[in-house]
Amino acid sequence: MENAALKDRFEFAHSVIRDAGAHANAYFKDLSQLNIASKGLQDMASQADLETEQLILDRVGKTFPDDAFFGEESGGLEPATGQGVWVVDPIDGTAPFVKGIPVWCVSIAFVVDGEIKFGLIYDPTHEELFSALQGNGAHLNGKPITPDPSTSIQDGRFCIGFSHRSQPIEVTSVLQAHLEAGGMYTCLGSGALGLVYVACGRYIGYYEPHINSWDCYGAVAIIREAGADVVEAEAGDGLTRGCEIIASVKGVTAAFAEVLAKAKI
């Protein structure tokens, strides 16, 4: 895909993600409107999720009808070679969202030939829009962002995520090894926000044994452009089946690799 076509989509994504965030935020301000359905253990979808994804899907379909779409709520098909695909989570952090906790966001990424070309994460409750177009740096509300310069896992916090798609031991063993190494952690409730907080210097790393593409692809683009380390989330069937996610500031990448090695002995 030509650079001009990518830039057109990137600019369009800024508009649609803000509109989607405003739609979801209207529900967040009055949770009595919500209908909520369970999708599994500690996994749910709300009316706000469904409507917000449909808003994005309709706008993408009208503006770029030849593009493919892969969303958490509506699914979609993997694109043919050379065709772009929009990877969307309308509300990442639904569990906090439905409890009135302002830790959620809208996530959009665009993938061409198995490579993430751009990503946007919008947190409307704090009016923060993280964005990155491949080769153009990472930004928060239009201003460049960089990771924390720490060189020790003792100098900051890792965000550790978990879902019941994984086994508890897969995260508890990492927590134990990380704490024994002098690290500290927090569990945020939104993988996308936890990841972009690495990009802008709030956390020094993020780990989750399994994460879906719609939860992380937008943030992965931003982390890469900011200059932190992150796994190749697109590898293999990462788009359709998800992956283990590891992100860290460069100064602690080796130390956290030792934590993971110890945890998996």
Q: Are 105 and 62 in contact (CB under 8 A)?
A: no
Q: Which helix (H) or strand (E) holds 191?
A: helix 191-199
Q: What value does the mean pLDDT take over residues 77-88? A: 73
Fold classified for 3-144? Fructose-1,6-Bisphosphatase; Chain A, domain 1 (3.30.540)
Q: What value does the mean pLDDT take over residues 137-148? A: 98
- DSSP conformational letter for 75: B
Measure the CA–CA gap between 105 and 244, rounded to whole angstroms. 21
Cα-based distances in Å from 141 to 90, 127, 132, 208: 19, 8, 11, 27
Q: What value does the mean pLDDT take over residues 257-261? A: 97
Hey, what are 230's tokens?
A: 């992150």
Measure the CA–CA gap between 219 and 227, rounded to whole angstroms. 12
Q: Nearest-CA neighbor of 109 among 243, 232, 221?
A: 221
> Band of the pLDDT at 74, cuts 50, 70, 90?
confident
Angle at 147 between CA 251 and CA 211, to 5 degrees: 90
- Statement: residue 76 has pLDDT above 70: no
Hey, what are 81's tokens?
A: 């070679």
> Band of the pLDDT at 44, cuts 50, 70, 90?
very low
pLDDT at 88: 96
Q: Is 60 helix (H, G, I), strand (E, B) or coil?
A: helix
Residue ranges per structural domain of the chain: 3-144, 153-263
Structure confidence by residue, pLDDT tens digits, 165-175: 888 888 999 99
Residue type at position 148: D
Q: Are 120 and 218 in contact (CB under 8 A)?
A: yes
153-263, which class in CATH? alpha beta
